[in-house]
């Protein structure tokens, strides 16, 4: 069966009434957990994993996968409307999305997000179908040294996401790297900065840090400003759709975000979060008017929102082609395969074509459903803003607390949320951008782990690490991106 | 026998009014690893199967973190009333306490309920690797010390201890590359970043079936049905038969009647067709030991692993 025949065969399976229903339930739950701040896809999927016991394998997987990519649609909603990310992969969306909302363009931002997610989802499905095996083999060529180089380059390029002071960005990066070392070191089990506390040995999770720095901090700022509801945008219904100019500005970022996101999905770890940061940095760099970013540039919404959905498709590649999950969400999907006695891996497509193609094809149908579901909802979501500020803030705060607890059933995650909420509020007062901290917290643990593994591999020989061709190439890319523009400017200036 | 046990429980229940009510509400089963993982799979299937004979639901709660020690510590420190129990594994219980200070130590600091399953350990290489047998591999390692890299899912796992044990007994120098779980180690094996991997049989199975990997050695008393061509370490003259096992535990001081009731329900669940089918596809061997037998095996593992940890200098 060729890839396109397979997809057609899969569509036949995915459109059976029960699978359509499963897909719809999945994407609906996904949209809801995406919209609700704090509660993310991983928690929801873990919660619903046992309920797939009773379903047949393809149906159960179609539903769980729907939650995963569906959450990427919903995540942007609260980012744009109230500056509180709906889930971790929508932090970047808040930067320009919220500014757009304040200018009365919330509807446009939400519509572009949904459209971007849809395009990325479509690109992703075809990416899986046409390039899946090839990309999985490519991912295998990345060993610990290559991932180390990738994280170093990533940190160099992404640490100054939104401009601003270099010194502040470096401070935030340092802090993020330090926070990433707390807890039990994952490969040798040494406990660091735990002060003998068994709770702290689990480490500081990314999600409560993000929800604290952005969500709780925002609510504290709002509370401080008092009940100035007028500060929040009034949205008129006729402003719901993007203007022709806005569509034009968004189309290229959506295309770039789709590709970048899909490829980033192949990186182990929280790749959806990483994808949004990369897409935002990319848009800012290619823009002819980078100064608009941070003040409501629609490119800063379109790129990242396409990228996080693209990354969910990319993350399916190692799972479906190798049977190996690269991210926490796909690990749960692997669990769902196993519950049904299936072993995803190189043979899945030939042994159980109905499951493989059914799930892949359902992703396309699911994305279509999400588009249809989300566009009419834009108006509903925007009307949330008419809710009294004190009610909305209290709800958001509660949801953040519930979401943080649902990650690991851990009280520590709640304290991290509260602590970083206060810290985030302080940073807002000082007008310091916390995003470099997030970048460092995403990349730091991966960077440290892969460096240590590389050193184990080469028995401590650093030269062996940096002279691998891919490693060297990746590091050079980082240097070029960083040093290129200033060098070019200097070369041009003497004239 | 189990019917007799049940009768005894019923009789006890009738005699002691307080115990008569156990279980009067759902039991929380803490799984110290994330949802979707191997242990979670056993826990959830066990909970489903126990529903058929246990009067109240057994609810699985994931409390992951720090190699299972956090969830395990929560079980050990819970109120010993039979309503909080845990699933655990040999490394969490008998290796981790030697590496760091934990709220639990030896098997007398908690109450083992029942042994559930064994999980074998094998050594695998890529199928295009030049070594056709474990002897080939060990010979190559002798010829060029330190050149061959072998992955484990982490320092202090039983898979790591077995590798170190093999190195010592065979007198070879293999470079150990620890990962954070085999989901990270397998891409490194398949991509050629390590030469061999310490894995569980089911983890490598799809890649063996696809012709990408080969199993060379099993750390078991007998050859595995799944890989009949792979000799055991014992056949090569190395007495390494440490496997991984999962069990249920309760906090110390849990009423014996509750332990017995949980034990009986879990014992019956081990024979449940769905549980048996899960075990087969996941490469688990269902194995039974009661509370005393389990405690004895844990004591032995605890002693052996203390020795290994000391010999390898793992305690920081």
Q: How far is the CA of A437 from the CAs of A149, A220, A301, A353, A420, in angstroms?
A: 19, 20, 20, 43, 11
Determine whether B104 is exposed, middle or buried from the number of CB atoms within 10 Å of its CB (0-12, 13-18, 19+).
Answer: buried
Higher pLDDT, B13 or B207: B207
Tokens (6 digits) for A313: 């498709």
Give me the residue from A143, A188, A334 closest to B193, CB to CB. A143
B136 shares its domain with B90: no
Asked if residue B238 is part of any domain, the answer here is no
Determine whether A357 is exposed, middle or buried from the number of CB atoms within 10 Å of its CB (0-12, 13-18, 19+).
Answer: buried
Percent of chain B surpassing pLDDT 70: 93
DSSP state of B173: -
The pLDDT score that the predictor gives to residue A260 is 94
B197 shares its domain with B154: yes
Asked if residue A463 is part of any domain, the answer here is yes
Would the pLDDT of A41 be above 90?
A: no
Residue B46's domain comprises 2-117+244-312
SS3 content of chain A, % helix, strand, coil (to 5): 80, 0, 20
B205 shares its domain with B296: no
B6 shares its domain with B98: yes
Rounded mean pLDDT of A331-338? 85
Tokens (6 digits) for A36: 């609700």
B77 shares its domain with B23: yes
Would the pLDDT of A313 be above 90?
A: yes
Distance from CA of A188 to the nearest CA of B (A): 5
Rounded mean pLDDT of A103-131? 91
Percent of chain B surpassing pLDDT 90: 56
Rounded mean pLDDT of A307-313? 93
The pLDDT score that the predictor gives to residue A405 is 87
B88 shares its domain with B154: no
**Cβ within 8 Å of residue A375, ≥6 positions away:** A111, A114
Higher pLDDT, A494 or A90: A90
The pLDDT score that the predictor gives to residue B4 is 54
Instruction: Provide the pLDDT confidence category of residue A424 given band limits of 50, 70 and 90.
Output: very high
Contact A408 B66 (CB under 8 A): no
Q: How far is the CA of A170 from the CAs of A10, A92, A165, A176, B124, in angstroms?
A: 49, 19, 9, 10, 44
Which contiguous run of DSSP H or E holds residue B246? strand B244-251
CATH number at residue B155: 3.40.190.10
- The per-residue pLDDT for range B92-108, each reduced to its tens digit, is 999 989 988 888 998 88
Range from A123-137, A219-233, A282-296, B240-254 carrying the lowest mean pLDDT: A219-233
Tally of CA atoms within 13 A in the half-sphere of B158 that contains its CB: 25
- The vertex-A203 CA angle with A152 and B312, nearest 5°, equals 85
Rounded mean pLDDT of B284-290? 91
Instruction: Provide the pLDDT confidence category of residue B19 given band limits of 50, 70 and 90.
Output: very low
Asked if residue A155 is part of any domain, the answer here is yes
Q: Which of A186, A269, A340 to mutate to test the interface with B (most CBs of B within 10 A)?
A: A186
Cis peptide before B23 (omega within 30 of 0): yes
Asked if residue A96 is part of any domain, the answer here is yes
> Could you give the number of structural domains in chain A?
1
CB distance A443 to A172 below 8 Å: no
CB distance B179 to B152 below 8 Å: yes
Instruction: Provide the pLDDT confidence category of residue B1 given band limits of 50, 70 and 90.
Output: very low
B109 shares its domain with B250: yes
Residue A133's domain comprises 3-490
Average pLDDT of chain B is 88
> What's the complex ipTM?
0.85
Tokens (6 digits) for B26: 């759902």
Tokens (6 digits) for B292: 């005393």
The reply to whether B66 touches chain A by the CB within 8 Å rule is: yes
Asked if residue A495 is part of any domain, the answer here is no
Asked if residue B229 is part of any domain, the answer here is no
Instruction: Count Cβ atoms below 10 Å from residue A290 Cβ, excluding itself.
Output: 14
Distance from CA of A125 to the nearest CA of B (A): 23
The pLDDT score that the predictor gives to residue A75 is 87
Asked if residue B82 is part of any domain, the answer here is yes
Give the span between the Cα atoms of B157 and B63, in whole angstroms. Answer: 19
Domain boundary among B172, B200, B218: B218
Give me the residue from B64, B156, B278 closest to A189, CB to CB. B156
Nearest to A151 by CA among A475, A491, A411, A495: A475
End-to-end CA distance of chain A: 61
Tokens (6 digits) for B139: 């010979």
Distance from CA of A24 to the nearest CA of B (A): 23
Contact B44 A50 (CB under 8 A): yes
Asked if residue B153 is part of any domain, the answer here is yes
B160 shares its domain with B197: yes
The pLDDT score that the predictor gives to residue B17 is 47
Would the pLDDT of B8 be above 70?
A: no
Tally of CA atoms within 13 A in the half-sphere of B50 that contains its CB: 27
Would the pLDDT of A117 be above 90?
A: yes
- What are the backbone angles phi and psi of residue B17, rounded to the nearest 5°? -60, -35
Tokens (6 digits) for B32: 């110290």
Give the span between the Cα atoms of A221 and A428, in whole angstroms. Answer: 8
Contact B175 A141 (CB under 8 A): no
The pLDDT score that the predictor gives to residue B106 is 86
Tally of CA atoms within 13 A in the half-sphere of B280 that contains its CB: 9
CB distance A82 to A229 below 8 Å: no
Q: How far is the CA of B246 from the CAs of A157, B114, B157, B300, in angstroms?
A: 45, 9, 14, 15
SS3 content of chain B, % helix, strand, coil (to 5): 45, 20, 35
Q: How far is the CA of B219 from the CAs of B166, B233, B240, B298, in angstroms?
A: 10, 6, 6, 18
B87 shares its domain with B170: no
B:82-121 residues touching chain A, CB 8 A cutoff: 96, 99-103
Contact A410 B63 (CB under 8 A): yes
Tally of CA atoms within 13 A in the half-sphere of A68 that contains its CB: 32
Asked if residue B239 is part of any domain, the answer here is no
CATH number at residue B30: 3.40.190.150
Contact A188 B178 (CB under 8 A): yes
- The vertex-A228 CA angle with A222 and A233, nearest 5°, equals 90
Would the pLDDT of B87 be above 70?
A: yes
Give me the residue from A203, A338, A348 closest to B282, CB to CB. A338
Would the pLDDT of B247 be above 60?
A: yes
**Cβ within 8 Å of residue A1, ≥6 positions away:** A9, A353, A357
Give the span between the Cα atoms of A237 and A139, in whole angstroms. Answer: 46
Range from A96-105, A291-300, B13-22, B144-153 carrying the lowest mean pLDDT: B13-22
The pLDDT score that the predictor gives to residue A331 is 86
Contacts of B101 in chain A (CB under 8 A): 196
Q: How do B58-62 and B27-31 pair as beta strands?
A: parallel
Asked if residue B231 is part of any domain, the answer here is no
Range from A381-390, B123-132, B298-307 carrying the lowest mean pLDDT: A381-390
CB distance B244 to B219 below 8 Å: no
The reply to whether B277 touches chain A by the CB within 8 Å rule is: yes
Rounded mean pLDDT of B115-125? 94
B7 shares its domain with B97: yes
Start-end of H helices in B36-181? 38-51, 69-77, 90-94, 96-99, 134-143, 158-170
- What are the backbone angles phi and psi of residue B183, rounded to the nearest 5°? -60, -25
Asked if residue B60 is part of any domain, the answer here is yes
Asked if residue B230 is part of any domain, the answer here is no
Contact A323 B206 (CB under 8 A): yes
Give the span between the Cα atoms of B286 and B276, in whole angstroms. Answer: 8
Would the pLDDT of B13 be above 70?
A: no
Nearest residue of B to residue A459, measured between CA atoms: B175
Would the pLDDT of A35 be above 80?
A: yes
Instruction: Count Cβ atoms below 10 Å from residue B116 Cβ, excluding itself.
Output: 28
DSSP state of A288: S
B:216-275 residues touching chain A, CB 8 A cutoff: none
Range from A111-115, A233-237, A459-463, B292-296 carrying the lowest mean pLDDT: A233-237
> Could you give the number of structural domains in chain B?
2
B62 shares its domain with B153: no
B:175-204 residues touching chain A, CB 8 A cutoff: 175-180, 183-184, 186-188, 190-194, 202
Rounded mean pLDDT of B162-167? 93
Nearest to A304 by CA among A263, A266, A260: A260
Nearest to B157 by CA among B37, B62, B243: B243
The pLDDT score that the predictor gives to residue B192 is 92
Would the pLDDT of A385 be above 80?
A: no
The pLDDT score that the predictor gives to residue A112 is 92
- The per-residue pLDDT for range A211-227, each reduced to its tens digit, is 999 889 988 988 888 75
Range from A110-114, A115-119, A195-199 carrying the lowest mean pLDDT: A195-199
The pLDDT score that the predictor gives to residue B189 is 94
């Amino acid at each position: 069966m060729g890839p396109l025949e397979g997809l057609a065969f899969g569509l036949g399976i995915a459109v059976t009434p029960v699978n359509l229903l499963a897909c719809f339930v999945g994407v609906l739950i996904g949209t809801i957990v995406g919209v609700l701040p704090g509660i993310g896809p991983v928690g929801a999927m873990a919660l619903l994993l046992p309920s797939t016991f009773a379903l047949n394998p393809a149906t159960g997987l179609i539903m769980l996968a729907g939650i995963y990519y569906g959450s990427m649609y919903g995540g942007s909603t609260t980012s744009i409307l109230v500056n509180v990310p709906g889930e971790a992969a929508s932090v970047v969306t808040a930067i320009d999305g919220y500014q757009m909302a304040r200018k009365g363009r919330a509807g446009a931002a939400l519509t572009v997000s949904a459209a971007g997610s849809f395009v990325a989802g479509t690109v992703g499905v075809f990416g899986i179908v046409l390039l899946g095996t090839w990309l999985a083999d490519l991912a295998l060529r990345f060993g610990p040294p290559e991932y180390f180089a990738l994280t170093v380059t990533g940190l160099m390029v992404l640490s100054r996401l939104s401009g601003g002071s270099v010194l502040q960005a470096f401070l935030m990066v340092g802090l993020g790297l330090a926070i990433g070392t707390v807890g039990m070191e994952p490969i040798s089990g040494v406990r660091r900065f735990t002060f003998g506390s068994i709770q702290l040995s689990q480490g500081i999770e990314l999600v409560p840090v993000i929800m604290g720095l952005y969500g709780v901090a925002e609510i504290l700022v709002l509370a401080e400003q008092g009940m100035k509801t007028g500060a929040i945008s009034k949205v008129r219904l006729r402003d719901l759709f993007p203007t022709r100019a806005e569509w034009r500005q968004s189309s290229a970022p959506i295309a770039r975000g789709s590709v970048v996101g899909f490829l980033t999905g192949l990186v182990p770890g929280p790749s959806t979060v990483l994808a949004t940061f990369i897409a935002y940095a990319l848009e800012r760099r290619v823009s002819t008017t980078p100064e608009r970013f941070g003040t409501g540039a629609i490119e800063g919404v379109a790129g990242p929102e396409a990228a996080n959905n693209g990354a969910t498709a990319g993350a399916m590649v190692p799972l479906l082609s190798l049977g190996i999950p690269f991210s926490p969400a796909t690990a749960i999907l692997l669990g769902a395969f196993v519950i049904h006695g299936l072993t995803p891996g190189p043979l899945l497509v030939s042994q159980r074509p109905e499951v493989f193609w059914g799930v892949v094809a359902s992703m396309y149908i699911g994305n279509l459903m999400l588009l249809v579901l989300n566009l009419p909802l834009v108006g509903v979501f925007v009307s949330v803003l008419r809710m009294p500020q004190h009610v909305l803030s209290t709800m958001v705060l509660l949801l953040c607390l519930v979401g943080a607890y649902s990650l690991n059933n851990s009280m520590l995650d709640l304290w991290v949320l509260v602590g970083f909420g206060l810290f985030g509020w302080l940073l807002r007062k000082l007008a310091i951008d916390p995003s470099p901290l997030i970048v460092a917290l995403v990349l730091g643990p991966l960077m440290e782990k892969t460096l240590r593994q590389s050193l184990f591999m080469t028995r401590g020989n650093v030269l062996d690490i940096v002279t691998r061709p891919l490693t060297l190439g990746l590091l050079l890319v980082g240097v070029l991106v960083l040093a290129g523009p200033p060098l070019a400017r200097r070369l041009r200036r003497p004239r | 026998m189990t019917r007799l046990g049940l009768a005894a429980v019923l009789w006890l229940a009738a005699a002691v009014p307080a115990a008569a009510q156990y279980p009067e509400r759902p039991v929380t089963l803490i799984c110290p690893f994330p949802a979707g993982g191997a242990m979670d799979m056993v826990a959830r299937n066990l909970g489903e199967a126990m529903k058929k004979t246990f009067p109240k639901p057994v609810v699985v709660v994931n409390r992951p973190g720090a190699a299972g020690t956090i969830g395990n510590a929560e079980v050990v420190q819970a109120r010993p009333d039979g309503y909080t129990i845990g699933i655990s594994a040999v490394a969490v219980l008998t290796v981790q306490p030697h590496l760091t200070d934990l709220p639990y130590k030896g098997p007398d600091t908690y109450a083992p309920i029942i042994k559930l399953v064994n999980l074998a350990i094998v050594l695998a290489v890529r199928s295009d690797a030049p070594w056709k047998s474990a002897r080939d591999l060990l010979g190559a390692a002798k010829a060029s010390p330190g050149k061959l890299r072998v992955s484990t899912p982490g320092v202090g796992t039983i898979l790591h201890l077995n590798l170190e044990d093999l190195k010592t007994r065979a007198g070879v120098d293999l470079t150990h590359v620890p990962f954070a779980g085999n989901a990270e180690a397998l891409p490194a094996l398949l991509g050629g970043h390590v030469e061999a991997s310490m894995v569980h049989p089911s983890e490598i199975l799809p890649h063996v079936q696809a012709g990408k990997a080969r199993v060379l050695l099993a750390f078991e008393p007998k050859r595995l049905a799944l890989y009949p061509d792979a000799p055991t370490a014992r056949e090569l003259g190395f007495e390494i038969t440490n496997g991984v096992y999962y069990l249920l535990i309760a906090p110390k001081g849990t009423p014996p009647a509750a332990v017995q009731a949980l034990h009986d329900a879990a014992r019956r669940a081990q024979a449940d067709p769905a549980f048996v089918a899960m075990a087969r596809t996941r490469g688990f061997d269902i194995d039974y030991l009661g509370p005393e037998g389990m405690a004895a095996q844990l004591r032995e593992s605890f002693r052996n692993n203390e020795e290994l940890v000391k010999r390898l200098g793992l305690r920081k």
